[in-house]
Structure 1
Amino acid sequence: MSDISSIARDLINTDPALAAEVHRQILAKTSSIGFGLTAKEASVLEYLRDRARESEIAPSFEEIMADLDIGSKSTVHRILTALEERGKIQRLANRPRAISILGVAA
C-alpha cells in the first residue's frame, strides 16, 4: 500500500496540471468562506450584486479596485476569472463591463 506522499509525488510527475488544480482546491477549502470562495472573492461577488441592484452598468476594474481596496487590475482580473470558473458570474469576451451574476441569489 502506498503512502500519501508517494501518491502525491506520482501525481505531480505524471500530471502537473491536475496536481496544481488539486492543490488550488485544497487551499480554497482551507481558506474559503462558503461555497469554495475566498474571502476576497466573496466580497467582490457581494459588491457586484450590490452594484447590479443600483445600476445596469457593471463596475469597471478601477471602480472595483478603489471601492474594495484591491491593489491592482491583475488581482481584480484574477478574482473575476475565479468567480467565472466557479459559475458565479459570466463575462462576455471583448466587452468591457459585461458581467452577469449567475445563480438563484443573483
Structure 2
Amino acid sequence: MKDSPMQIDLDTLRREVRALDYVRGTSAEAAMWREDDADSRANLAIEGMAMEPDDDALFDMLRDEAVPPPLATQIILKLYDHPDADPGLAITPLEQAR
C-alpha cells in the first residue's frame, strides 16, 4: 500500500468499524490473525515491499477490533473505493472522507 494518496483517519474508521454488525473473533482467533499478519508483513519486507507506518496502524486497528480477515478485506476495499467493494458496507471511502 505504498504511496497511499490520502492519510487514514484511524479514529473515525475505528468508530465506523465498531458500528458494523459483525461477529468479533475470539481471543484465540485474533491471536492467530495477528500471527498471520506478522508473517505476511515479514514476507513483504523480505521482498522489499515493507508497509508504511500508516498501513501498519490500519491493520493493527483491525486486529485490535477482532475483525475477521474476510471483513477486513472488504473494509479495505471500501476504504479505497475499489470496484469490488460491498456498496452496502458502512465505511466511508477515503475520497469522501476529505
- The TM-score with structure 1 as length reference comes to 0.23
Structure holding more strand per residue: 1
Compare CA radii of gyration and give the structure with the larger one. 1
Higher relative contact order (Cα pairs below 8 Å, separated by 6+ residues): 2
- The TM-score with structure 2 as length reference comes to 0.25
